[in-house]
Amino acid sequence: MTVGTARGDTPDALGESPTEFVQLLSPDGERIEHPGYELELTAAELTDIYRDLVTIRAMDTEALALARQGELAVWASMHGQEAAQIGSARALAAGDMAFPTYREHGVAWSRGVDPVSILGHFRGAYHSGWDPLRSRVQAYSVVIGSHTLHATGYAMGIQRDGTDDAAIAYFGDGATSAGDVNEAFVFAAAHRAPVVFFCQNNQWAISVPVDRQSTVPLHRRAEGFGFPGVRVDGNDVLACLAVTRKALADARAGRGPTLIEAFTYRMGGHTTTDDPTRYRPAAETEEWRSRDPIERVRRHLTASGIADREFVEDVESRAEAVVVDLRHRIRTLPDPDVAEIWEYAYATGHPRVDTERTEYADYLESFEDGQW
Amino acid sequence: MTVGTARGDTPDALGESPTEFVQLLSPDGERIEHPGYELELTAAELTDIYRDLVTIRAMDTEALALARQGELAVWASMHGQEAAQIGSARALAAGDMAFPTYREHGVAWSRGVDPVSILGHFRGAYHSGWDPLRSRVQAYSVVIGSHTLHATGYAMGIQRDGTDDAAIAYFGDGATSAGDVNEAFVFAAAHRAPVVFFCQNNQWAISVPVDRQSTVPLHRRAEGFGFPGVRVDGNDVLACLAVTRKALADARAGRGPTLIEAFTYRMGGHTTTDDPTRYRPAAETEEWRSRDPIERVRRHLTASGIADREFVEDVESRAEAVVVDLRHRIRTLPDPDVAEIWEYAYATGHPRVDTERTEYADYLESFEDGQW
Amino acid sequence: MVTTEAVSLSRALNEGLRRAMTDDPSVVVMGEDVGMLGGVFRVTDGLQKTFGATRVIDTPLAESGIVGTAIGLALRGYRPVCEIQFDGFVFPAFNQITTQLSRMRTRTRGAVELPVVIRIPFGGGIGAAEHHGESPEAYFTHTAGLRVVTCADPSDAYTMIQQAITCPDPVIFFEPKRRYWDTSVIQRDPVAAVPLEQAEIVRPGTDATLLAYGPMVRVCLEAADAHEDRSLEVVDLRSLNPLDEATVLESVRRTRRCVIVHEASVTGGYGAELAARITETCFRTLVAPPLRVGGFSTPYPPSRLEDHYLPDLDRVLDAVDRTFGGRP
Amino acid sequence: MVTTEAVSLSRALNEGLRRAMTDDPSVVVMGEDVGMLGGVFRVTDGLQKTFGATRVIDTPLAESGIVGTAIGLALRGYRPVCEIQFDGFVFPAFNQITTQLSRMRTRTRGAVELPVVIRIPFGGGIGAAEHHGESPEAYFTHTAGLRVVTCADPSDAYTMIQQAITCPDPVIFFEPKRRYWDTSVIQRDPVAAVPLEQAEIVRPGTDATLLAYGPMVRVCLEAADAHEDRSLEVVDLRSLNPLDEATVLESVRRTRRCVIVHEASVTGGYGAELAARITETCFRTLVAPPLRVGGFSTPYPPSRLEDHYLPDLDRVLDAVDRTFGGRP
Ligand SMILES: Cc1ncc(C[n+]2csc(CCOP(=O)(O)OP(=O)(O)O)c2C)c(N)n1
Ligand SMILES: Cc1ncc(C[n+]2csc(CCOP(=O)(O)OP(=O)(O)O)c2C)c(N)n1
Ligand SMILES: [Mg+2]
Ligand SMILES: [Mg+2]
């Protein structure tokens, strides 16, 4: 084990200056200590994490295929960001609330959301397929940045309740430019709200590289708002877990928010409708492939004798089973009933909405009567 | 002369921790050196500055009276902020463009705007009474923060023109919480745009003290966006001049934006419709009165022999003359023609607007005909 | 504190808020200057003193932040009442209102409700600066998922703010700025309260219907009083979305003529929806087209011109006469 | 590059932008992903390569910032063309558009003009996610000081974008998303161009007028073709503000019936203004009320339901038949 601060990349590798971050597991699977981020995990915890990583990678791969087959309208792949999502989500307590973007499938999965609900969103069957309050992960947020304020307000609610829950808001590097995210920083700091801002810097906002959003590392944004920022190796699931755990502990202890910048990479296109070859060199993606977040856990498990080949194969075949079931269920997912158009707009009666629903039902019926 | 970093206030004075800032002239009128902010002014320059300070104070006092008399609908007093405005505006070159809020009367005056135009805005005669492009100070901006983006875009235009002009955006402590201001920081940093962000921290946003907006000094906000922030004694006209001059020089040299926090105080109410006794202690205001921005210049001029009693009296009587003229002109300012309602909405013809104008003229005429 | 003497509309709102906060500890009030200052119109006067700074929150100066964090508080079970200081400053929050607040229920298939109230002082006529005299209601009535209401007098102010707070849907609550200091004795009996979504015939008449809401209700009442030859019915819509179609259409069918009055620009204003809907349903009954009286198709003017821009008694009467076939 | 073969609407916009940028060096294009990627709909494809990164600016991810800095650029003499990536993401810029862009000319008594174009792909029907299929035009047509236009075919796309750029007023330029890949041979002769503010009768008829714009023009043309008994006239409004009242009213006076079609929610939609204005001016000529066909009074549904929400040929024909006194 080595001790110290790791460097995320070298100047020649990515054409930018070296990046310091918290790393607990090197790309080779070597365990590193980082002062302030001690982490002790049991073998069972480690294998569970590995299982999650492999399963969501398999699901993501399947979803890409389903999108290609037209079963999904679009898919936003999280390939490359598995460690950031599983690591941070594992740090959450049962009562905590997560506020995701459209790419946080690993977080949703971690919170126990049925993957069909995740894919159903991308199929266009519904905007959100789960109960956000019960699963303790909110609906996917599409308007960049908006939900960071919801997380902050939710955390203000926690303060008023006097419980030691916390909120976590997920967002991307691009989102840091949005007014709402910065306002969330202002409100969270002013209230010392128990919220963690978890930014997955995957280097790209669609085709725009992170240096168009900021000329300084993103985690440094926090300090000027009056709370700490920390950069973590986003491809290191252990570091993501440890750093998020500390930030959550600080939040619960009344020490206010933390901004975590998980330095990672979007291995695929922005979504299945994107063509990343138009704007980024293949070499960059290849470079990042060598830092694969799953591979290093496998190496670590194998090297430390926790896992053998049999275990690895078992994990893979179970993931495959999840995927087969998922494929079947998404293909047979029924379209929503047309009445849903009017069903949820208002909690209370609304004469115009009710009239429209009735009139449209009559209109549809007129076809079935063969009048048209 | 003493050298070093001055302290703006003591813990017991304002109940907050000591504040470091750039100061070149102590409240007693003593000249101080601050490394990096050398300033040499001729006697004529100094007396000019003094003249401006006294004149706008007199104008402000008159405007308060006119508002009380009902000649103005409302007035936003700048009492206490004279040094911040005159000092920073003096640093501007003729070609630079200023983007003010509703309180920057000193900036407008410095740019040669006829004070009747300033008061006319508060009379409700027009939204803006001067040509922003000719006077090189934009229309007063009322929606907090919005104009900081205009200044940034304008600075991006300067870059494209390849000239060495600069832009300066004025805003308050409250405005730092607005999404737009933070987005302006993002854009300015990303483009290294030649814009100076001049924040007058007058300690209050109406009734809300600055610590509701930020728990750390406002100038520190800049660093996380990738550009420098500096705090200046906002009641010290020389320091405001020197610090703004340096920021503008950096901007012209392609070194990008600077955030200046001018630490000052709003001596009056937010506007004439505000009642500050509802939310702030009189003692605080009194404490700040001892740091009056004009008094210290007078002391300095007198002590250094540049000005004598005769000069001081001359300045005052000239200011009074300006005020008497202003009072007369604002009282006799004609109401705008009703046609202005339609005049400026579109540059090009607009059938509905044209119809409305004609119809309303006919309608008005029907009264004059005695038909109604 | 319950009074029997006449109270101002501002005071009635204050009492309504106080009542709601007393009844339900999950109600929180938030906005710029709502604490010590009590709001620039004193609507929240004294609430912070009574309920403390955790329930009456002086927010940072950021409207998107106010509405966005209110949504978060509602997700946690609170019932936030946000104050937007003036009509013209609601636009920084427009994204949160339009893409988040209005849709969370639909987005989550009914799993999440957001009982958030957004109070907005609106309308002109008080000689104020740019952005302080406007009427943005049409932006909200076109936004599905929101309820939009406005009160016209102290009694309605008192009850409607409480109804808005208990409503499970988000409510945009417009307060007629220039009527804040109008006073009347208020009806405090909750049993007698008119439902939030119901319009009220505030002056019965037979010859033409005047449809108005908020600040224009009083103008229409004065116009009805002033008209020498015609009996004018005045309907205070109170709820703009949903619209109480039953009351409105019944009145127009009876009088067969109507004039719609609001301060906002006529072009694309709420009156367009009223006129279109009335025409669709009452075409054969109407003897004249619904006419609209409102602001012009230009930005709100400087205050020295606002009396021309805003509908007044004469412009309303002029329109009424036009529905009877031209000026007398 | 000028082609004589059919080009897509997306391509036509691209060529129009290219032409405008060539003609006037003060034109700059800015937005998210407009550079290397060429925009998510490829409208700005290749422009950065030709004109460089100072004229085709990949902005940070912040719509208020995009429009706000565009205003600043315009103050400095530039003519910015901003791209908002999708309809649903214009709301963070709503404050800049509504309180700044639309009013600077009025605020400064004509001293400052802001020739800014804001391009917004709009409308549904492409199976996209939430916020990617909406029609926010009514929020802008109610905002005085803005011009609001939309093209329906490649020829108009090519000329109208150029006209919008040379227009001294700010222009909100809506692009019919689901028509981006429709192709036709485009008319490039500037002399033959229809003025920006003019509507066009795209299919003459005698029995009823269909009023549409953007994506619904094609639907109305198809409906007109499909109707067996009636001769339907189709008017493509092209400019929503100002509205070409002359053309619209002339058509309706002639046919005496009209149906208004758009994708946005009918409640408070642009159709309300059309219906109200037509009724005000043509009341005695109309033999049936103007009917509106559009989205429902609910948030835009998930894409598997959008075909129900969006007007189609059958719903248009149904409304036409209703103006003739009910279904056949
Ligand atoms: C307010 C807003 N503007 C634009 C978009 C379109 N858009 C969707 S994702 C995206 C890029 C987001 O980048 P980032 O925040 O880095 O997240 P990532 O997709 O990389 O996870 C953009 C511009 C949006 N969804 N919301
Ligand atoms: C977007 C917006 N929200 C609210 C207001 C109302 N308002 C006017 S001034 C003000 C306080 C501004 O404080 P600060 O930025 O510190 O400037 P100061 O008035 O102290 O100069 C507020 C809330 C506004 N003008 N714009
Ligand atoms: Mg990203
Ligand atoms: Mg202030």
Query: Are B183 and D68 contacting, i.e. CB atoms less than 8 angstroms apart?
Result: yes
Q: Are residues C123 and C254 in the same domain?
A: no
Q: Is D100 in the pocket of ligand 1 (CB under 6 A)?
A: no
Q: Is residue A191 included in any domain, yes or no?
A: yes
Contact B177 A189 (CB under 8 A): no
Q: Is D236 in the pocket of ligand 1 (CB under 6 A)?
A: no
Q: Is residue A27 included in any domain, yes or no?
A: no
Q: Is A266 in the pocket of ligand 1 (CB under 6 A)?
A: yes
What pLDDT sits at residue A19? 63
Determine the average pLDDT of the residues in A145-164: 98
Q: Are residues D19 and D155 in the same domain?
A: yes
Q: Are residues A348 and A291 in the same domain?
A: no
C326 touches chain D (CB under 8 A): no
Residue range of the domain that includes B190: 41-331
Q: Is residue A25 included in any domain, yes or no?
A: no
What pLDDT sits at residue D2? 54
Q: Are residues C223 and C122 in the same domain?
A: no
Of D140, D169, D192, the position where a domain reaches its end is D192
Q: Are residues A358 and A214 in the same domain?
A: no
Q: Are residues B232 and B361 in the same domain?
A: no
Contact D142 C268 (CB under 8 A): yes
- Is the alpha carbon torsion for C171, C176, C180, C184 positive or negative? negative
Of C192, C222, C239, the position where a domain reaches its end is C192
Q: Are residues C176 and C212 in the same domain?
A: no
Query: Are A121 and A141 contacting, i.e. CB atoms less than 8 angstroms apart?
Result: no
Contacts of A178 in chain D (CB under 8 A): 61-62, 92
Q: Is residue D216 included in any domain, yes or no?
A: yes
Contact D36 A174 (CB under 8 A): no
Tens digits of residue pLDDT in B54-80: 999 999 999 999 999 999 999 999 999
Q: Are residues A300 and A356 in the same domain?
A: no
Percent of chain D with pLDDT over 70: 98
Report chain B's mean pLDDT, rounded to a whole number: 94
Q: Are residues D179 and D210 in the same domain?
A: no
Q: Are residues D112 and D254 in the same domain?
A: no
Spatial separation of the C-alpha atoms in residues C314 and C292, rounded to whole Å: 14
Task: Select from A330, A342, A309 the least CA-distant residue to A63.
Answer: A330
Q: Is residue D72 included in any domain, yes or no?
A: yes
Query: Are D30 and D80 contacting, i.e. CB atoms less than 8 angstroms apart?
Result: yes
Q: How many CB atoms sit inside 10 A of residue A2's CB? A: 10
Tens digits of residue pLDDT in B336-366: 999 999 999 999 899 999 999 999 999 999 9
What pLDDT sits at residue C192? 79
Q: Are residues D260 and D230 in the same domain?
A: yes
Q: Are residues B52 and B163 in the same domain?
A: yes
Report chain C's mean pLDDT, rounded to a whole number: 96
What pLDDT sits at residue B13? 37
Q: Are residues B349 and B239 in the same domain?
A: no
Residue A370 has pLDDT above 70, yes or no: no
Find, in chain B, the residue whose alpha carbon is nearest to that of A146: B179
Q: Is residue A262 included in any domain, yes or no?
A: yes
Residue range of the domain that includes D153: 2-192
**Residue D204 confidence class, pLDDT cut points 50, 70, 90:** very high
Residue B180 has pLDDT above 60, yes or no: yes
Q: Is residue C222 included in any domain, yes or no?
A: yes
C280 touches chain A (CB under 8 A): no
Percent of chain D with pLDDT over 90: 95
Query: Are C184 and C248 contacting, i.e. CB atoms less than 8 angstroms apart?
Result: no
Q: What is the domain-level CATH number for residue A128?
A: 3.40.50.970
Q: What is the domain-level CATH number for residue C161?
A: 3.40.50.970
Find, in chain A, the residue whose alpha carbon is nearest to that of D93: A179
Q: Is residue B181 included in any domain, yes or no?
A: yes
What pLDDT sits at residue A368? 74
Percent of chain B with pLDDT over 70: 94
Q: What does pLDDT average to in each consecutive run of 10 residues of chain C (328 residues)?
A: 79 98 98 98 98 98 98 98 98 98 98 98 96 97 98 97 98 98 89 92 98 98 96 98 98 98 98 98 97 98 98 97 78
Percent of chain C with pLDDT over 70: 98
Specify the DSSP class assigned to residue D5: S
Of the CA atoms within 13 Å of residue B363, those in its CB half-sphere come to 21
Angle at CA of residue A264, ends A259 and A266, nearest 5° = 120
Determine the average pLDDT of the residues in B146-170: 98
Contacts of C127 in chain B (CB under 8 A): 73, 124
Residue B19 has pLDDT above 80, yes or no: no
Q: Are residues A361 and A217 in the same domain?
A: no
What pLDDT sits at residue B6? 40
For residue C69, how far is its CA from the centre of ligand 4 (angstroms)?
Answer: 23
Determine the average pLDDT of the residues in A33-50: 96
B305 to chain A, closest Cα gap in Å: 43
Q: Is residue B4 included in any domain, yes or no?
A: no
Q: Are residues D223 and D302 in the same domain?
A: yes
Contacts of D58 (CB under 8 A, 6+ apart): A207, A208, A212, D31, D32, D33, D34, D35, D36, D48
Q: Are residues C265 and C305 in the same domain?
A: yes
Q: Are residues C220 and C170 in the same domain?
A: no
Q: Are residues B228 and B266 in the same domain?
A: yes
Q: Is residue C328 included in any domain, yes or no?
A: no
Q: Are residues D43 and D127 in the same domain?
A: yes
Structural domain count, chain D: 2
Q: Are residues B53 and B187 in the same domain?
A: yes
Q: Is B143 in the pocket of ligand 2 (CB under 6 A)?
A: yes
Of D145, D176, D192, the position where a domain reaches its end is D192
Chains that contact C by 3+ CB pairs under 8 Å?
A: A, B, D
Nearest by CB to C169, from A133, A150, A346: name it. A346
Residue A274 has pLDDT above 50, yes or no: yes
What pLDDT sits at residue C29? 98
Q: Is C32 in the pocket of ligand 2 (CB under 6 A)?
A: yes
What pLDDT sits at residue C40? 97
For residue B60, how far is its CA from the centre of ligand 2 (angstroms)?
Answer: 19
Instruction: Ligand 2 pocket test: pick from C36, C59, C61 the residue with the most ligand atoms within 8 Å of its Cβ.
Output: C61
- Who surrounds ion ligand 3 at CB < 5 A? A 172-173, 202, 205
Q: Is B103 in the pocket of ligand 2 (CB under 6 A)?
A: yes
Contact B220 A224 (CB under 8 A): yes
Active site residue ranges of A: 266, 270, 279
Q: Are residues A220 and A345 in the same domain?
A: no
Q: Is residue A10 included in any domain, yes or no?
A: no
Find, in chain B, the residue whose alpha carbon is nearest to that of D93: B180
Residue B232 has pLDDT above 80, yes or no: yes
Q: Is residue D328 included in any domain, yes or no?
A: no
Determine the average pLDDT of the residues in B284-288: 97
Question: Any catalytic annotation for residue D308?
Answer: no
Q: Is residue B279 included in any domain, yes or no?
A: yes
Residue B190 has pLDDT above 60, yes or no: yes
Tens digits of residue pLDDT in C145-182: 999 999 999 999 999 999 999 999 999 999 999 999 99
Tens digits of residue pLDDT in D87-144: 999 999 999 999 999 999 999 999 999 999 999 999 999 999 999 999 999 999 999 9
Residue A6 has pLDDT above 50, yes or no: no
Q: In the B/C pair of chains, how many CB contacts fall below 8 A?
A: 117
Determine the average pLDDT of the residues in D62-72: 98
Residue D184 has pLDDT above 80, yes or no: yes
Structural domain count, chain B: 2
Q: Are residues C214 and C180 in the same domain?
A: no
Q: Are residues A350 and A257 in the same domain?
A: no
Tens digits of residue pLDDT in C73-119: 999 999 999 999 999 999 999 999 999 999 999 999 999 999 999 99
What pLDDT sits at residue C44? 98
Contact B347 D62 (CB under 8 A): no
Q: What is the domain-level CATH number for residue C314?
A: 3.40.50.920
Spatial separation of the C-alpha atoms in residues D60 and D82, rounded to whole Å: 13
Q: Are residues B287 and B350 in the same domain?
A: no
